[in-house]
C-alpha cells in the first residue's frame, strides 16, 4: 500500500484534478505545480491535508510544502494522477504561461540583471565612499577635503576608481555576458562583444556630448563612415547587441554541421554581431536610451515634477511586486550617463525606507507575537538595507494597510527629494545606506526626506494597526516568554518555532550534541531569505553563512534523502529518530546541479565530520542566489529540548551547534 495514498487523492481533488495541472516538479521540500487555473485550487482544503505544511505562489508556480519525504510523495502523486513530472527548468518555463507578457518581460530582465546587482551594489558603495573623502570639505574650516590634505587618502581615492570604472563604465560587458549566460549560448563570446563596446580605441561614451562632431573619430569604408563611439555605461544598446549575438549563434549552431561548428559558429556569430552592434543596434539603443532618459529627466525637472515624483514614490512598491522595477536600473544608468546623476535612485531608496518603517510599526504592535516577529524583524532589516521583497510579501501585503501607509510615506518623501533636486551619483545601495550614493551637497535635504519616509509610514501604520489588528494578530496564539536577565547575560537568545517549542540558543558541548555541518557564521533561521524556512514551516533550526564549501555530517547518521539531479540538499536520520535537512543556498535547485558535487547516496551510513557534498560559492552568487545554508530539524524523534547555538563563527565537524536531551 502506498504511504501517502489518501493524501495524494485529497491533494489531486483539492488542486482541481489532473486537467488543472499543466506541469509538476519538486525540489527538496516542495511540490511545484503550474496550474491551468489557479483559482480552482482549494487552498484551505490543501493546507488541511495531514502531510501538507503550507502553500504559497511564486513566479507562476503553486507550491505545496511537504518536507523531507517530498520525493516519495511526488512519485506516488504522479503515479496516481497519471501525470508526468518535469524538470525544474521545464516547470519554470511552463509557469511563465501563467504570466502576462509584461510579467514575462520583467522576469527575463530580472534574470539578466540579477547576476550584475552585487557588482552594482559594490560599485555604488565605492563611489559613495569616494564622495565622502573627495567631495566633502570636513577640514580647514570647511575648505578642504580629506583627499586634499592627505596623500594617502588621495591614493586610496584614485585606486578605488579602478572598481568604479570597472563596474559602471564597463557595464556593457557584464550585461552581454549575463544575456549569453541566461540564453545558454557561449559566454566568452558575450564577454568579447561587450569589450568591443567599451574598447579604448573608441571615443569614451561619456565624452561624446562634449566632443565637437568633426573631432569624433570614424571608420571610413569609402562608401560610408561609422562613428567610433564607445558605449560605456549604456544599458539598452548593450542588451540589444547581446540578443543579436545570441540569436546569430543559435541560428548558425542549428544549421552548421557539427564537424565544423567549432570554427564556423563563433566566427559567423561574433563578427557580424560586432558590426551590427556598432552600425545598427548601438546607435538605435543609444537613441532609445537617451529618449527614455530625456522623458524621465523632463518629468523630474519640469513644472509637473511634483506630480511625477508623487506618483512614482506612491507606486514604486507595487511596481516592485510586479517585477517592473527592474526597468529602473536601465533608466537610472541612462540618466547617469546623460546628465551625470539621477534623481530616480533617491526616490527608490526612500521607498525602501518607507516600507521598512511600516514593518517597524508592525513589529512594535506585534512585539508579543513571537511568530510574527520571526518575519517582521528580518524583513525590517532587509528593507532598511534596500531589499523590500521580504517586507512587501511577508508583512505589508499580508495585512494590506501597512503597504498603503508605506506608499503614502514614500510619496511624501519623493516630493521633498525631487522638489529640492536631490541627485545620486549612480545606482548604489538602497534603504538607509542609500545616502552614500547621494551627492554630498544634497545630504541635508535627503536626511529630511529620510526622516519623512520613516515617521509618516510608522505613525500611519501604528494608528491604523491599533484599530485593525485583532488580539490574535498582536499577541499570537501563545504569549511568548521573555528572556531572563541571566540568559541575556550569558548571551542566550530565545526562539519560538512553528510548533511553539522554545529553543535557547547557546554555545555548549556535552552529550546529545550535533557538530557544525559547515564552517562559517551561525545565524538564526529567521535570517534565511525564504519564508518556508524563516517562518519555521519545516521545523526549528538555524543557518550558516559559509566561509567554506564542504558540507559534512553533523553526527553519525543514515542518509535518507538526496537530490540526485540538483545535488544541493540532503536529509539525514539519527539513531534516535531525529530527522535533519541540510539545504545549500536558496532556490539553488534551479541551478540543476551546476556547481554542486554530492559524495553520498540514499541509504549510506555516514560518520560525524564525513563530507556530504561540496558547492561552488562563486557559481551560486553568479547565478543570483544566496549561499546561506539551512539546517532544519524536521522531526525531533525521541530527542527533547532541542536548542541551537547562533551568533558565532563555527568550524565544520568541531563546533557544537545543537544540543538535545
Can you give the pLDDT at residue 606?
A: 93
Angle ∠(255,194,342) on CA atoms, nearest 5:
135
Instruction: Show me where the domains of the chain are located.
Output: 5-99, 114-295, 302-474, 493-659
Q: Looking at the domain 5-99, which fold is it?
A: Gyrase A; domain 2 (3.30.1360)
- Nearest alpha-carbon partner for 79 in 32, 12, 138: 12
* pLDDT score, position 75: 85
Nearest Cα to 627, choosing from 484, 553, 532, 520? 520
Q: What angle do CA 531, 535, 540 make, to 5 degrees?
A: 125
Of residues 522 and 101, more confidently modeled: 522
> Residue 314's Cα: distance from chain center in Å?
23
- Of 27, 51, 383, 412, the active-site residue reads 27
If we measure between CA atoms, which residue out of 599, 586, 327, 375 comes closest to residue 473? 375
Q: Is the whole model's pTM more than 0.75, yes or no?
A: no
Looking at the predicted structure, is the pLDDT value of residue 493 above 90?
no
Q: Other C-beta atoms within 10 Å of 637: how many?
A: 15
Tell me, yes or no, if 27 is annotated catalytic.
yes
The phi and psi torsions of 631 (rounded to 5 degrees) equal -130, 115
For residues 146 and 236, what is the distance between their CA atoms, to the nearest angstrom? 37
Q: What does the pLDDT read at residue 148?
A: 92
- Beta-sheet strand order (sheet of 61-65): 21-26, 30-35, 61-65, 54-58
Evaluate whether the domain defined by 493-659 bears CATH number 2.70.70.10. yes
Question: Mean pLDDT over all residues of the chain?
Answer: 81
Taking residue 319's Cβ as centre, other Cβ atoms within 10 Å add up to 17
pLDDT, one tens digit per residue, over 157-197 is 999 989 888 887 888 899 899 899 888 889 999 999 999 99
Q: Cell triple for residue 658? A: 545543537
Q: How far is CA 447 from the centre of its chain?
A: 27
Whether 510 has a pLDDT exceeding 70, the answer reads no
- Distance separating alpha carbons of residues 162 and 155, to the nearest angstrom: 12
> Would the CATH topology of 5-99 be identical to that of 493-659?
no
Predicted confidence at residue 121, as pLDDT, reads: 61
Instruction: Name residues whose C-beta falls within 8 Å of residue 193's C-beta, 6 or more positions apart in sequence.
Output: 176, 241, 242, 245, 270, 273, 274, 277
Q: Tell me the C-alpha distance between 620 and 115, whole Å.
A: 10
The better pLDDT of the pair 57, 216 is held by 216
Contacts of residue 320, defined as CB under 8 A and 6 or more positions apart, other chains included, come to 351, 388, 389, 392
Amino acid at each position: 500500500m502506498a504511504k501517502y495514498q489518501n493524501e495524494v487523492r485529497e491533494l489531486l481533488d483539492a488542486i482541481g484534478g489532473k486537467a488543472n495541472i499543466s506541469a509538476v516538479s519538486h525540489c527538496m521540500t516542495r511540490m511545484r505545480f503550474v496550474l491551468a487555473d489557479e483559482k480552482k485550487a482549494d487552498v484551505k482544503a490543501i493546507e488541511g491535508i495531514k502531510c501538507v505544511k503550507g502553500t504559497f505562489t511564486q513566479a507562476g508556480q503553486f507550491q505545496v510544502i511537504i518536507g523531507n519525504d517530498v520525493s516519495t510523495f511526488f512519485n506516488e502523486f504522479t503515479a496516481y494522477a497519471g501525470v508526468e513530472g518535469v524538470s525544474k527548468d521545464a516547470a519554470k518555463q511552463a509557469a511563465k504561461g501563467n504570466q502576462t507578457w509584461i510579467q514575462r518581460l520583467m522576469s527575463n530582465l530580472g534574470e539578466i540583471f540579477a547576476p550584475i546587482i552585487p557588482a552594482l551594489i559594490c560599485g555604488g558603495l565605492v563611489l559613495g565612499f569616494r564622495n565622502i573623502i573627495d567631495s566633502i570639505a570636513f577640514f580647514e574650516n570647511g575648505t578642504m577635503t580629506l583627499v586634499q590634505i592627505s596623500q594617502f587618502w588621495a591614493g586610496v581615492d584614485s585606486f578605488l576608481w579602478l572598481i568604479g570604472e570597472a563596474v559602471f563604465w564597463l557595464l556593457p560587458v557584464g550585461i552581454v555576458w549575463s544575456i549569453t549566460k541566461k540564453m545558454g549560448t557561449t559566454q566568452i563570446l558575450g564577454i568579447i562583444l561587450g569589450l568591443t563596446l567599451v574598447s579604448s580605441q573608441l571615443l569614451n561614451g561619456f565624452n561624446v556630448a562634449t566632443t565637437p562632431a568633426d573631432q569624433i573619430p570614424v571608420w571610413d569604408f569609402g562608401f560610408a563612415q561609422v562613428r567610433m563611439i564607445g558605449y560605456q555605461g549604456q544599458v539598452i544598446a548593450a542588451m540589444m547587441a547581446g540578443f543579436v549575438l545570441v540569436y546569430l549563434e543559435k541560428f548558425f549552431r542549428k544549421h552548421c554541421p557539427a564537424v565544423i561548428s567549432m570554427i564556423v559558429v563563433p566566427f559567423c556569430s561574433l563578427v557580424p554581431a560586432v558590426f551590427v552592434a556598432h552600425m545598427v543596434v548601438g546607435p538605435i539603443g543609444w537613441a532609445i536610451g537617451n529618449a527614455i532618459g530625456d522623458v524621465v529627466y523632463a518629468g523630474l525637472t519640469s513644472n509637473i515634477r511634483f506630480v511625477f515624483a508623487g506618483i512614482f514614490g506612491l507606486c514604486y512598491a507595487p511596481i516592485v511586486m510586479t517585477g517592473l522595477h527592474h526597468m529602473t536600473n536601465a533608466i537610472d544608468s541612462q540618466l547617469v550617463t546623460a546628465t551625470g546623476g539621477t534623481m530616480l535612485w533617491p526616490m527608490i531608496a526612500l521607498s525602501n525606507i518607507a516600507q521598512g518603517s511600516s514593518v517597524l510599526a508592525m513589529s512594535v504592535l506585534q512585539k508579543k507575537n513571537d511568530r510574527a516577529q520571526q518575519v517582521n524583524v528580518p524583513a525590517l532589516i532587509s528593507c532598511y538595507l534596500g531589499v523590500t521583497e521580504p517586507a512587501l510579501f511577508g508583512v505589508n501585503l499580508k495585512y494590506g494597510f501597512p503597504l498603503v501607509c508605506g506608499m503614502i510615506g514614500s510619496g511624501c518623501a519623493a516630493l521633498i527629494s525631487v522638489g529640492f533636486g536631490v541627485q545620486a551619483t549612480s545606482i548604489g545601495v538602497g534603504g538607509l545606506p542609500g545616502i552614500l550614493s547621494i551627492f554630498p551637497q544634497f545630504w541635508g535635504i535627503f536626511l529630511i526626506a529620510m526622516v519623512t519616509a520613516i515617521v509618516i509610514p510608522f505613525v500611519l501604520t501604528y494608528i491604523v494597526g491599533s484599530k485593525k489588528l485583532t488580539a490574535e494578530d498582536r499577541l499570537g496564539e501563545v504569549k511568548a516568554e521573555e528572556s531572563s536577565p541571566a540568559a541575556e547575560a550569558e548571551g542566550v537568545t530565545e526562539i519560538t518555532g512553528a510548533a511553539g517549542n522554545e529553543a535557547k540558543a547557546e554555545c555548549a558541548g556535552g552529550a546529545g550534541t550535533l557538530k557544525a555541518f559547515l564552517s562559517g557564521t551561525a545565524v538564526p533561521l529567521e535570517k534565511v531569505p525564504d519564508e518556508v524556512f524563516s517562518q519555521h514551516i519545516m521545523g526549528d533550526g538555524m543557518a550558516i553563512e559559509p566561509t567554506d564549501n564542504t558540507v559534512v555530517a553533523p553526527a553519525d547518521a543514515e542518509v535518507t534523502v538526496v537530490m540526485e539531479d540538483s545535488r544541493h540538499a540532503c536529509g539525514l536520520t539519527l539513531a534516535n529518530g531525529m530527522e535533519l535537512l541540510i539545504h545549500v543556498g536558496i532556490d539553488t535547485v534551479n541551478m540543476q546541479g551546476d556547481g554542486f558535487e554530492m559524495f553520498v547516496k540514499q541509504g549510506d551510513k555516514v560518520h560525524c565530520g564525513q563530507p556530504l557534498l561540496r558547492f561552488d560559492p562563486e557559481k551560486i552568487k553568479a547565478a543570483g542566489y544566496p549561499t546561506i545554508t539551512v539546517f532544519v530539524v524536521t522531526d525531533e524523534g525521541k530527542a527533547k529540548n532541542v536548542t541551537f547555538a547562533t551568533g558565532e563563527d563555527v568550524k565544520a565537524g568541531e563546533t557544537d551547534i545543537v544540543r538535545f536531551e
